[in-house]
């Protein structure tokens, strides 16, 4: 007798088919997940290879120029990556770079990659397995850099995903290390005013028959607020004169009457130099022992309470001088730094702890900061490239006025003080002024000569980009 199939039999068959299809789908998803996990692991490994190779090559590059003076870097590939000195992309080839040094940088990258089982790295990036470099200036226009770029490309070790991808999945990663040579603090600016109040910043007063009243050779001027002038006072510079200012303020508040003037709008909120320049601890008698200026005209480094005599002709041996109290040089008085007669070491750092420095009449100052060149031996506890420091806690003014003469080599750093120069002497000042405010007040042209090789400098550094 015939018995038709029951509904339960049909259901069982359908369930088996569904289970079979579901199992196939589950296996496919599992295989795909395993492959994608392998792709990720391979990519992470390749990234580690690129990172280590680029860092090693960047360090090798840094070794070639970390001792250079800022003016000696002079490297520009026009934004392109190069692999040889004959590459047409070069705009400026640095004197410190030769073919052997260039190839040594690439060899370090390839050797490091090979130690991580990546043996097909070549010079150049066309194959996406290689190394190249570029150099030039950062967007601020004053900070040089050299980039080493490493690219690593490999087929991922997969078993299933290629059926969907039409071929093996390929990982390509890259790393860039940026090496920055030793460069001057606020490179390019001979005058830098920190005050965010647009009533101040850089102020030019007077005029007389001089035109301009402030002439900057080799650098420029910058105010974090405004630049203002009265009468016929004006300023010129070899590079730029610029400032930040409140958009609601009159535009004339930021106008030094100079053709090179280039105002920039920005929000003013933080001091960009806070903590950047080290201030010696003048309360530490191990680095600043008690001294007296009454013992003679040739002074030893140390701590001087009650200021310094303003009418005396003082000679400062190399070292750190911590001065408590005001110093007023006039009536033919002078302060001069001299080299050590035995060692030949040069340079002083003078810290005015809590008083003002003023120079009027026939007063004279001629001091030299310790060399910022790390290959040059300097006196202990001094700040390389810094001649004068007014700590942030000292808001007393620094004044160089009258018909006094001044020759300061190095940075003058007074973040809470007004720096005022002027008078009738009209002699060159070879320095970098960094103060809360900068004021010119005189009748003759004040020549400020900027030299980035002798002011405070940031050490060479290396950064990792991906």
Question: SS in 3 state form for 355-373?
Answer: CCEEECCCCEEEEECCCCC
Chain centroid to Cα 127, Å, comes to: 34
Note whether 203 and 156 are same-domain residues.
no
At which of 154, 181, 208 does a domain end?
181
Note whether 102 and 148 are same-domain residues.
yes
* Tokens read off for 20: 């079979």
CA distance 185 to 54: 27
Note whether 170 and 209 are same-domain residues.
no
Note whether 174 and 194 are same-domain residues.
no
Note whether 157 and 273 are same-domain residues.
no
pLDDT at position 462 is 93
Note whether 254 and 368 are same-domain residues.
yes
CA distance 235 to 242: 11
| Residue 267 structural domain | 189-458
Note whether 143 and 198 are same-domain residues.
no
Note whether 383 and 434 are same-domain residues.
yes
**Angle formed by the axes of helices 7-65 and 99-114, nearest 10°:** 150
Stated length of the chain = 466
Note whether 152 and 284 are same-domain residues.
no
Note whether 206 and 169 are same-domain residues.
no
Is 10 among the domain residues? no
Is 123 among the domain residues? yes
Is 220 among the domain residues? yes
CA distance 76 to 357: 43
- Helices (H), ranges, 66-128: 99-114
Note whether 223 and 274 are same-domain residues.
yes
The position carrying tokens 């026939």 is 362
Chain centroid to Cα 76, Å, comes to: 18
* Tokens read off for 208: 């007389």
Local structure of 461: helix, strand or coil: strand
Least Cα distance to 313 among 291, 342, 293 occurs for 293
pLDDT at position 401 is 84
Half-sphere CA count of 248, side-chain side, radius 13 A = 2
CA distance 388 to 385: 10
CA distance 311 to 333: 4
Domain count, the chain: 2
Dihedral angle computed from the Cα positions of residues 428, 433, 437 and 442, in that order, rounded to the nearest 10 degrees: 0
CA distance 275 to 247: 29
CA distance 451 to 23: 76
What is the phi/psi pair of residue 285, to 5°? -75, -10
217-245 core/surface letters (b: 16 or more CB in 10 A; e: else)? ebbbbbbbbbbbbeeebbbbbebbbbbbb
Chain centroid to Cα 309, Å, comes to: 38
Note whether 161 and 199 are same-domain residues.
no
CA distance 148 to 50: 11
Burial of 310 (0-12, 13-18, 19+ CB in 10 A): buried
Half-sphere CA count of 326, side-chain side, radius 13 A = 12
Chain centroid to Cα 139, Å, comes to: 12
Is 364 among the domain residues? yes
> pTM of whole model > 0.75?
yes
Half-sphere CA count of 72, side-chain side, radius 13 A = 14
> What's the CA angle centered on 43, arms 38 and 47, to 5 degrees?
150
Instruction: List the chain pLDDT tens, one digit each, 466 residues.
Output: 555 655 555 666 666 666 666 666 555 665 555 555 566 677 788 889 999 999 999 999 998 888 888 888 999 999 999 999 999 999 999 998 899 999 999 999 999 999 998 889 999 999 999 999 999 998 877 789 999 999 999 876 665 555 555 556 778 899 999 999 998 888 788 999 988 776 668 888 866 555 677 889 988 888 887 787 776 777 888 887 877 764 544 555 455 554 444 444 444 444 566 778 899 999 999 999 999 887 568 999 999 998 899 888 999 999 999 999 999 998 788 999 999 999 999 999 999 999 999 998 888 899 999 999 988 999 999 999 999 999 999 999 999 887 767 889 999 999 999 999 886 655 556 789 999 999 988 777 888 889 989 999 988 899 987 6
């Amino acid at each position: 007798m015939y018995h038709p199939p029951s509904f339960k039999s049909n259901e069982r068959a359908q369930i088996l088919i569904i289970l079979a299809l579901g199992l196939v789908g589950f296996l496919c998803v599992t295989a795909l997940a395993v492959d994608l996990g392998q792709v990720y692991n391979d990519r992470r490994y390749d990234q580690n290879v690129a990172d280590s190779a680029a860092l090693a090559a960047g360090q090798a590059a840094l070794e070639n120029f970390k001792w250079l003076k800022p003016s000696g870097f002079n490297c520009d590939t026009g934004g392109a990556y190069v692999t040889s000195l004959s590459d047409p992309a070069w705009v400026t080839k640095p004197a410190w770079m030769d073919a052997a040094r260039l190839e040594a940088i690439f060899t370090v990258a390839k050797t490091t990659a090979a130690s991580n089982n990546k043996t097909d790295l070549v010079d150049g990036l066309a194959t996406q397995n290689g190394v190249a470099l570029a150099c030039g200036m950062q967007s601020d226009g004053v900070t040089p850099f050299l980039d080493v770029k490493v690219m690593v490309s490999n087929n991922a070790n997969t078993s299933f995903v290629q059926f969907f991808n039409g071929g093996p999945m390929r990982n390509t990663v890259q790393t860039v290390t940026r090496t920055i040579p030793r460069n001057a603090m606020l490179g390019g600016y001979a005058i830098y005013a920190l005050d965010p109040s647009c009533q101040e910043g850089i102020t030019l007063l007077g005029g007389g028959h001089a035109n301009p009243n402030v002439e900057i050779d080799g650098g420029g001027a910058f105010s974090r607020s405004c630049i203002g002038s009265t009468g016929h006072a004006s300023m010129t510079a070899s590079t730029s004169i610029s400032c930040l200012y409140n958009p609601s303020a009159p535009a004339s508040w930021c106008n030094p009457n100079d053709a090179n003037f280039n105002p920039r709008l920005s929000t003013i909120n933080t001091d960009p130099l806070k903590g950047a320049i080290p201030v010696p601890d003048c309360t530490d008698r191990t680095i600043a022992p008690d001294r007296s200026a009454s013992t003679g005209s040739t002074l030893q480094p140390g701590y001087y309470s009650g200021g310094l005599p303003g009418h005396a002709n003082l000679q400062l041996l190399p070292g750190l001088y911590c001065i408590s109290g005001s110093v007023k040089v006039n009536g033919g008085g002078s302060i001069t730094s001299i080299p050590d007669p035995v060692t030949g070491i040069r340079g002083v750092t003078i810290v005015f702890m809590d008083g003002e420095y003023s120079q009027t009449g026939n007063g004279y100052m001629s001091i030299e900061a310790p060399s910022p060149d790390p290959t040059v031996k300097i006196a202990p506890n001094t700040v390389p490239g810094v001649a004068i420091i007014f700590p942030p806690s000292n808001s007393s003014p620094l004044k160089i006025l009258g018909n006094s003469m001044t020759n300061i080599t190095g940075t003058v750093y007074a973040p809470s003080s007004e720096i005022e120069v002027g008078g009738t002497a009209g002699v060159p000042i070879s320095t970098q002024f960094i103060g809360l405010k900068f004021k010119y007040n005189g009748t003759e042209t004040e020549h400020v000569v900027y030299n980035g090789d002798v002011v405070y400098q940031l050490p060479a550094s290396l950064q990792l980009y991906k």
